[in-house]
Structure 1
Amino acid sequence: MPGENLTRIEAQERAALITVQSYEVTLDLTAGPETFGSETTVHFTATPGSSTFIDAITRTVHSVTLNGVALDPSDVSDGIRIQLDGLAAENTLTVVTDAEYTNTGEGLHRFVDPVDNEVYLYSQFEVPDSRRVFTVFEQPDLKATFAFTVTAPGAWEVISNSATPEPTDAGNGDKTWAFAPTHTISSYITALVAGPYAVVRSELTSSDGRVIPLGLFSRKSLFEYLDTDYLFEKTRQGFEYFEGKFNFPYPFDKYDQMFVPEFNAGAMENAGAVTFTETYVFRSKVTDAIKERRVVTVLHELAHMWFGDLVTMKWWNDLWLNESFAEWASTMATAEATEWTEAWTTFAVMEKSWAYKQDQLPSTHPITATINDLEDVQVNFDGITYAKGGSVLKQLVAWVGRDEFFTGVAAYFQKHQWGNTELNDLMVELEASSGRDLTEWTKLWLETAGVNTLRPEITVDDSGTITGFTVLQTAAADYPTIRPHRLAIGFYDLADGTLVRTHRVEIDVDGEQTDVPSLLGRQRPDLVLLNDDDLAYAKIRLDPASQEVALENLSAIENPLARAIIWGAVWDATRDAETAARDFITLVLGNVATESESTTLRTVLGQVVLAATYYVAEEFRTATIKEVGDALWSLARHAEAGTDEQFQFVKFFAALATTESQLASVAALRDGTAPLDRLLIDTDLAWELLIALVAGGKAGAAEIDAALAADNTATGAQSAAQARAAIPTREGKQAAWSSLIDVDTAPNTIVRVTAAGFLRANDTTLLEPFVDQYFAMLQPVWAARSFSIAEKLVLGLYPAPLANQALVTATRTWLDANPEPLALRRLVIENLAGVERALAAQARDAE
């Protein structure tokens, strides 16, 4: 990665010198499997006589022509940047190159479908990777129009930001598509998707009367599984919701959604041409949690068409605002415009849990993070940028008022359409619409790091009447900021076996102590819940009496969001080593059978597996893992047949199965000798069960090969790679390691799943020989691999399951000896923090 970085100072200096009008990009996708031809003509103005550079990561630069003068590529290009000297007031630059396809999910990704050997391409440009496809001033504030002309095999679909034109014949069975110029946009949201994609088309009418063409695309071998009617329905619901709330018609001319292979993220908001991971094409049964998450993702990317694409951040320090706004807006739209009405419960359980975890790492940072360069922003696609930011926006909406918030946002879109902004531009509009001064709020919430903890302090008299009610606020020692919170306090009482809310008050909490006089004189309820309805971003604790009631009656709370808040509070206390891990496990196993929300169930089951394998004291761990596995199997057998709950209990049971009896149950499920009523062992579930058997030493290479022969697909290849890496032998682990470190040919998805299989070890001593290998590979891998691959290796191969002091010592030794690069150190520090937290939890569990 050396040489590919770009600093904020460089970007500011370049933006002060030039203004870009347009790009004309010509791509030839018929040149073979490794490279494609790329010719770019850029029109831009500049300070006369100035010098700057343009970005172009290439294999070969054939020619560079500036204002009619040919420059020697060997003099001006290093394969990453092209130096431009002696600029005129008006400039035309033409660069002809050969660019490289990738298999890392960055730039122009090339994939060959093993089912039919068809080639599929798609672009992924955020953060700095349009420069891998064409020559470009790669920074978000140098907006321009982009006109793409693409030559490709004639049978392909070719999709970009503008509507796809009728192609012309290019000979040899190829065709050329000349796209109209885009609107004025940033380079990172331009797009190119090409290949024999299957497509279904529809349309909708925008609020301004325009007919907006819609398209849904996927690979031919997956298209039968694409539920197009449902996806079009969610898209239409999102359009109607956002156009109404934003008071601004959809800003682009068409809206294509493409499900593409080997995608690194959930989706990407390319203007009018959104790409999604094709794991959202459900070829096998998935949990309701995944179904809901897909809807949130569809609406998240649609929200970006306004917030991010129409109005774009000036620099990446405001990346959080793009992502946080889309996260908040998509959750709101999911809850109010679709059938997934409990989306805020999902947000509380999943997003806020991620945020609280990220905010307690040593690498935590303010929401408005300092982004000095591209490496900074790459590692800041994190729980602060997405989940904490979204949580804080929810708090801001409560602070200024929902209607006032939408009024301010609508004014922001009107004023800054097609431009670039900074945070203050939005705050100005929200202050105007709400009448509240947000200066102090911005400072406390956006410019400081860390999460506060809120606890109730309650006194009552002999009759149970409340005589004192105070909310206590604390902060971590390293991040001592005390913040204002808008939150609700709920009173819950047991009635006919159900905990029901009987009273609610909404207040402003500020300072270390906030008295709540409106609650004085009321009868103390069975349970007091701070942050009811989850308005605030803060960890909460229950008072002792409420905690006792909650632990005994959690499943009796009828409100799913209230349950989620309590699940989260107890989990936070477990992570903070205030509650013993085995006590948390007891709570889960005693209450989870009746949990109705799929994402809550999925999250809590993941937490109980983590607690059993990492947080339980070593002397109790084997017995606890057996206990949890047996309990999950019992829950699966007694769950209602064919339900999401039954399906989830089976999946998590397979993930934890270790004993002879448990593995025999897994085998019997897979081979059909002991089925569960209405549980279909489809292709993907069969792979999960096989991976469990491999990890348990009950299946091996022969069974993996047979399964892959029966499922010779991209997903099958990924599952097979994960299974092979889970083989519980020294040789099996070494083979998995070598396939990722000794060679650099595995595509991004194979890297990810192989790492997951490598770390799956019922006997964690198998990982001990790899501690030294891990630290030896860090610097070479970081220097040689792309960011996406390097990050997957640094995070995915860290032998965290060891969770012992020896790993802590080895990690600290490496950190002491390696002060650079900072982005790599951050990832290693986060790895270390997870192990240190596990050791603290183990010590608490041993008490």
Structure 2
Amino acid sequence: MRTLIYLGLVLSILCSCKNEQHSTTTLKAGVSEEMAMYRSSQISDVHYNLSFNIPAELKETIPSQLLLNFNVEQLQEPVILDFKEETSKIKSISINGKNATILHKKEHIILPKEHLITGKNTVTIAFIAGELSLNRNEDYLYTLLVPDRARTLFPCFDQPNIKARYTLNITAPKDWQVLCGTKEINSTSKGDYIEYKFDTSDQMSTYLFSFVAGKFKSVSKKPDNMEMSMLYRETDTTKIEYSLDSIFDLHQQSLSFLEDYTSYPFPFQKMDYAAIPGFQYGGMEHVGAIQYRESSLFLDEGATANKKLSRAKLIAHETSHMWFGDLVTMNWFNDVWMKEVFANFMADKIMNPAFPNIDHQLAFMITHYPNAYGEDRTLGTNPIRQKLDNLNNAGSLYGSIIYNKAPIMMRQLETVLGKEAFKEGIQEYIETFAFKNAEWGELIEILDKKSSTDIIAWSSIWVNNSSRPIFNDEITYDDNDKITSFTLTQTAEDSSEHAWSQAFDILFIYPDSSKTLSVQMTDATYQIKEAIGLPKPISIVYNSNAEGYGVFPLQEKDLDLIPTLDNQVARGYSYINIYENMLNGTINPSAAIQLFSKGLNTEKNELLINLISRYTTSVFWKYLTEEQRAF
């Protein structure tokens, strides 16, 4: 079907080209999935030779040239390049040594098949670099091309599953530094400018191509067996002296862990980075040339442990992307969440042990659960893995489900498989798809072979469907108040037939003791046999380890006990569960705010105080009547 759609698209283009009137209706702006999937089978062995001549003056344009080599596997249709710029910026096109008419419509350059051959083709395009994603300042610039913005800079096949090699030449003012994903071969002085020539890169997707140029300071260090370099503009000497060694050491710590965990050596030619003032994100995982927000890296002696942990995890996150995203890349941006959840997952593994005084389970819970629930309880919620028809719409994929529910899912997946089986599966995945593209389902097939659990079915519920489970309990006692049965049931909040397979703890509270029961929920109903014969507890705290996902049973009579719980994770999740139960109508808002008020008066943990404060504000202004607020 995709091929037929694409055939119709290009036939229309051909017909219109003969009449010197190009289609404006069938050729879509952006990069459609249909075109991308067809093009990935049509094109191979892509090599971009790019030259950018950067002027000293910000107001001047950047003359550029592309020498593009690629193989055409079959020549039934024209080849379509992506270039989201004005046609006037395309100065000339040569196809296999012959000048060609510029055919540029709906953000695409059309290369007619009569100018192409089966096998290797060479296209030369002189153009003015687009500046939508070329972040230019008076004395520095940097590219940021994720998710589909490479086509705003230069003509390309702007989709993740056409990986290519890059050879870059940059001419820049002589007092500028230049950094890209490969090592410099040589530089030549040309008056007030220097021409830098770089080696050919490893294969990468277009969104990972980058360069940084400008007035930067440069430092190189070799914390282990690989030298790394960093560009930066920070001027605070105290921060520089305090931070530089730590920045390099944290990168090396991350590299060493990942090489061991994945059983795959660092996959690229170098590992450099640039600290950029006002960078849009915390970091971006460009191959061999990671970009960071400068303020995230440079700290001073007064930095708190949480700030240091945040920096450490940012570095571990971006380093993890070298394997998860850069080496193995999603086939299409509907799986963009994969690289993000793996980078966060690995960052936790790498850096949490280095900060033993921080309650990482509590921080994970407060970071992810309220936000995931806030999205997943709504009618507009979406699955972790979504459909994407055009890369123009890739921005719609980012949100609380990807960044907050997906990490919860990943922890459950590791629990279901066991840590060793999960690790072995990841190693096989990396080895199988190195320098290639993969879909989530292909990883799941690998993991499924390593578990007695049906991981494919498990993934379908967690990843391909939205909503969350609502749990209910039924407990019976004998005449001596001993438990005779304990049944836990789950139903999907959206009334579907889904049953989430997941593990979590239940805490029984007694007057002078407590007991933890582990639940391995695999179906809609679960009999907790371990509870049979136990005395009746004064209270039950569900999901006391904050590993499970859903809304758990809660009774108003137990609320006063929550602030007295010694375990701050159990205490914190109980506050979250109270709020969710209140929204579902099982807890009265006035009872909830009384508890939150009590918690604020007794709580010592800063993270929990902030959590309770948010809930108190929400309940007070949204769910209490004017009379209740006055009282």
TM-score of the superposed pair, with normalisation by structure 2: 0.86
- Aligned-pair CA distance for 1:359: 1.7
Distance 2:442 2:500 in 1: 23
8 Å contact kept, 2:508–2:515: yes
Distance 1:51-1:229 versus aligned 2 partners, 3 A rule = same
User: Could you tell me how far 1:599 is from its partner in structure 2?
Assistant: 4.3
Deviation of 1:593 (Å): 6.1
| 1-structure distance, mates of 2:287, 2:593 | 45
Aligned to 2:549: 537
In the alignment, residue 267 of structure 1 is paired with which amino acid? Answer: G
Equivalent residue, structure 1, for 2:82: 55
Aligned residue number for residue 125 of structure 2: 95
Match of 2:290 in 1: 274
Report deviation, 1:199.
Answer: 3.8
Q: 1:165 to 1:588 in 2, by over 3 A?
A: farther
Out of 231, 252, 255, the position equivalent to 2:271 is: 255
Q: In the alignment, what sits opposite 1:36?
A: 62
Say if 1:476 and 1:219 are closer, same or farther in 2 by CA, change over 3 A.
same
Q: CA deviation at 1:389?
A: 1.6
1:2-61 alpha-carbon deviations (Å, 9 max, x no partner): 964221111111112111331111112216325322322211111235312111223411
Structure 1 consecutive aligned stretches of length 4 or more whose deviation exceeds 6 Å: 282-287
Shift in CA distance, 97/329, structure 1 to aligned 2, threshold 3 Å: same
Read off the aligned partner of 2:405 and give its amino acid letter: K
SS at the partner of 2:318? Answer: helix
| CA distance in 2: counterparts of 1:593 and 1:153, whole angstroms | 61
Separation in 1, partners of 2:178, 2:123: 26
Q: 554, 559, 568: which is aligned to 1:547?
A: 559
In structure 2, stretches of 5+ residues that fail to align are 1-26
Show the counterpart of 2:447.
430
Q: 519, 522, 526: which one pairs with 2:531? A: 519
Task: Report the structure, 1 or 2, having the larger helix content.
Answer: 1
Q: Could you tell me how far apart the structure 1 residues matched to 2:305 and 2:355 are?
A: 14
Find the partner of 1:219 among 233, 237, 241: 233
2:78 and 2:479 map into 1 onto residues whose CA distance is: 81
Separation in structure 2 between the aligned mates of residue 421 and residue 189 of structure 1, nearest angstrom: 16
Displacement of 1:139 after TM fit? Answer: 0.3
Q: CA deviation at 1:77?
A: 1.8
Inter-CA distance 618–271: structure 2 relative to 1 (3 Å threshold): farther
- Cα deviation, 1:677-715, whole Å, max 9, x if unaligned, reads xxxxxxxxxxxxxxxxxxxxxxxxxxxxxxxxxxxxxxx
Kindly tell me: are residues 183 and 523 of structure 1, through their superposed partners in 2, closer, same or farther at Cα, counting changes over 3 Å? same
Looking at structure 2, the residues matched to 276 and 597 of structure 1 have their Cα atoms a distance apart, in angstroms, of: 31
1:109 is the counterpart of 2:139? no
8 Å Cα contact 1:55/1:135 also seen in 2? yes
Map 1:177-326; keep pairs closer than 5 Å: 177-205=196-224, 211-221=225-235, 224-225=238-239, 227-281=243-297, 289-326=306-343
CA distance in 1, matches of 2:283, 2:209: 14
Instruction: Indicate the residue corresponding to 1:558 in structure 2.
Output: 566
1:417 is displaced (CA, Å) by 0.7
C-alpha distance in 1, partners of 2:250/2:613?
Answer: 29
- Residue 680 of structure 1 is matched in structure 2 by none
Secondary structure in 2 aligned to 1:532? coil
| Alignment partner of 1:364 out of 381, 390, 415 | 381
Give, in angstroms, the shift of residue 464 of structure 1: 4.2
The one-letter amino acid of 1:68's match is G
2: CA distance, partners of 1:204 / 1:458: 59
Distance 1:43 1:332, change over 3 A: same
Gaps of 5+ in 1: 113-118, 206-210, 625-847
Deviations 1:60-108 (A, max 9, x none): 11111111122233xx124822111113121111222112434xxxx21
Indicate how the Cα distance of structure 1 residues 617 and 183 shifts in structure 2: closer, same or farther if over 3 A, else same. Answer: farther
The superposition leaves residues 231-283 of structure 1 with CA deviations (integer Å, 9 ceiling, x where unpaired) of 33332332232222212222123323333233333322212222233442567
Q: Give, in whole Å, the separation in 2 of the partners of 1:79 and 1:439.
A: 40
Distance in 1 (CA, whole Å) between partners of 2:624 and 2:217 is 49
Kindly indicate whether the alpha-carbon contact (under 8 Å) linking 2:554 and 2:581 is maintained by their aligned counterparts in 1. no
Taking the aligned partners of 2:350 and 2:602, their CA distance within structure 1 comes to 27
Which residue in 2 is equivalent to 1:796? none
Alignment of 1:689-838 (within 5 A): none
Give, in whole Å, the separation in 1 of the partners of 2:524 and 2:334: 30
2:339 alignment partner, SS class: helix
* Distance in 2 between residues matched to 1:323 and 1:379, nearest whole Å: 15
Whichever residue aligns with residue 504 of structure 2, its letter is L
Once the two structures are superposed, residues 586-621 of structure 1 have per-residue CA deviations (whole angstroms, 9 ceiling, x without a partner) of 434433466565544444444444444555445666
CA distance in 2, matches of 1:245, 1:177: 36
Hey, what's the Cα distance between the residues in 1 that align with 2:58 and 2:147? 25
Percent of matched pairs sharing the same residue = 24
Corresponding position: 1:122 with 2:145:
no
Partner-residue secondary structure (3-state), 1:257:
strand
Q: Distance in 2 between matches of 1:545 and 1:404?
A: 43
Give the Å deviation of 1:306.
Answer: 0.8
Describe the shift of the 1:486–1:50 C-alpha distance in structure 2 as closer, same or farther (beyond 3 A): same
Q: Per the alignment, in what secondary structure is the counterpart of residue 212 of structure 1?
A: coil
1:630-669 alignment, distance < 5 Å? none
Helix, strand or coil at the partner of 1:540: coil
Counterpart of 1:329 (choices 314, 326, 346) is 346
Range 215-224 or range 523-532, more displaced: 215-224
Show CA shifts across 1:412-452 (max 9, x none): 11111111111222122212333443221122222211111
Inter-CA distance 530–376: structure 2 relative to 1 (3 Å threshold): farther
TM-score norm. by structure 1 comes to 0.65
- What do residues 335-378 of structure 1 show as CA deviations (whole Å, max 9, x unaligned)? 23544653232121112322222222333222221111124421
Match of 1:146 among 140, 149, 166: 166
Q: Which moved more, 1:315-324 or 1:566-575?
A: 566-575
**Gap change, CA 1:488 and 1:33, over 3 Å in 2:** same
Q: 1:82 aligns with which of 80, 86, 109?
A: 109
Residue 507 of structure 1 pairs with residue 527 of structure 2: no
State the alpha-carbon separation in 2 of the partners of residues 475 and 439 from structure 1: 19
Change (3 A) 1:594 1:21: farther
How many pairs align? Answer: 595
Closer, same or farther: CA 290–463 of 1 in aligned 2, 3 Å: farther
Separation (CA, whole Å) in 1 of partners of 2:333 and 2:261: 26
Change (3 A) 1:516 1:136: same
Aligned CA distance change for structure 1 residues 244 and 221 (closer, same or farther; 3 Å): same
Residue in 2 that maps onto 1:407: 424
Structure 2: which amino acid aligns with 1:473? Q
Q: Alpha carbons of 1:361 and 1:176: their partners in 2 closer, same or farther (altered >3 Å)? A: farther
Cα 1:233–1:592 change in 2 (3 A) is: farther
Separation (CA, whole Å) in 2 of partners of 1:519 and 1:219: 61
